[in-house]
């Protein structure tokens, strides 16, 4: 366990009343410091807030300890007001690296973003998308007719990727999941597990007739014609988990649940 002493705690919360009330109680009990000048940030909400916090404080070295006050909390620890200092000191650190996305739209404009969970391409209309997929500059699939496709990190493999029947990846795995979303042709293609240093390229075929949007976590770009994705090892975000609820343990448990 980390056994790190955090003397300056900053608190942030989602907009829901339950999270805001929890923030007020914890600040009164433990004090608070500015988020840019603290040793640790306690995030109160759901996974959406956690992802937002990780993006906002990426590369700062400030770890983020989430407590669930939202509807989804896979990335969060259980909420409790007692013993927060001791829980922070005993928490396990997890370092995650984002995906770097470059996307060109129909006007030739380049859009760049980072994704800690996944980069997903989705059809914009009733027409199925047609995608050509290349890995490390070699075409691997000439044409995938589908609702979309995504590339997920290990941390994001239990999110949208899992709903699309993609593989769950251990948090320490140097791998990425490439997963189709409702594939029509080839119907039985289930995707691929790639090394984390692989460069994935999607070319949108018949883009005028079959427009496609891309989302890097919550950042969306519409009418794209090409998307390049690669893991960014120079960027990182730090998370803290209770010893009995580490992200690695949660991902392992996910593979034996839901039956």
Of residues 149, 205, 209, the one with CA closest to residue 179? 149
CA distance 215 to 212: 10
Q: Which residue has the tokens 């960027």?
A: 235
Q: Which residue has the tokens 């923030």?
A: 23
The 3-state secondary structure of 113-171, one letter per residue: EEECCEEEEEECCCCCEEEEEEECCEEEEEEEEECEEEEECCCCCCCHHHHCCCCCCCC
- Contact criterion met (CB below 8 Å) for 175 and 196: yes
In Å, the largest CA–CA distance within the chain is 59
104: which strand partners?
110, 226
Q: What Cα–Cα distance (Å) separates residue 168 from each residue in 28, 159, 161, 175, 181?
A: 40, 9, 8, 10, 15
Rg (CA), the chain: 20
Backbone angles phi, psi at 100, to 5 degrees: -100, 125
Catalytic residue (choose from 47, 56, 242, 244): 47
Check if 47 is active-site. yes
- Catalytic (active-site) positions: 47
């Amino acid at each position: 366990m980390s056994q790190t002493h955090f003397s300056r705690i900053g608190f942030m919360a989602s907009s829901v009343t339950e999270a805001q009330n929890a923030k007020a109680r914890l600040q009164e009990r433990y004090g608070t410091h500015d988020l840019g000048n603290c040793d640790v940030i306690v995030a109160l909400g759901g996974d959406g807030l956690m992802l937002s916090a990780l993006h906002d404080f990426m590369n700062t070295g400030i770890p983020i300890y989430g407590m669930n006050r939202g509807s989804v909390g896979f990335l969060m620890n259980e909420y409790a007001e007692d013993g927060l200092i001791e829980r922070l000191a005993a928490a396990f650190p997890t370092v995650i690296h984002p995906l770097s996305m470059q996307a060109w739209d129909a006007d030739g404009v380049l859009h760049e973003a980072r994704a800690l969970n996944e980069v997903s391409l989705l059809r914009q209309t009733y027409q199925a998308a047609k995608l050509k997929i290349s890995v490390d500059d070699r075409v691997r699939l000439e044409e995938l007719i589908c609702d979309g496709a995504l590339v997920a990190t290990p941390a994001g493999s239990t999110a949208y990727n899992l709903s699309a029947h993609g593989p769950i990846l251990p948090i320490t795995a140097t791998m990425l999941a490439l997963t189709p979303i409702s594939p029509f042709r080839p119907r039985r293609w289930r995707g691929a597990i790639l090394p984390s240093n692989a460069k994935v390229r999607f070319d949108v075929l018949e883009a005028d007739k079959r427009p496609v949007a891309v989302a890097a976590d919550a950042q969306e770009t519409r009418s794209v014609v090409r998307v390049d994705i690669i893991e960014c090892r120079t960027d990182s975000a730090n998370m803290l988990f209770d010893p009995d609820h580490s992200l690695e343990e949660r991902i392992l448990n996910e593979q034996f649940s839901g039956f």
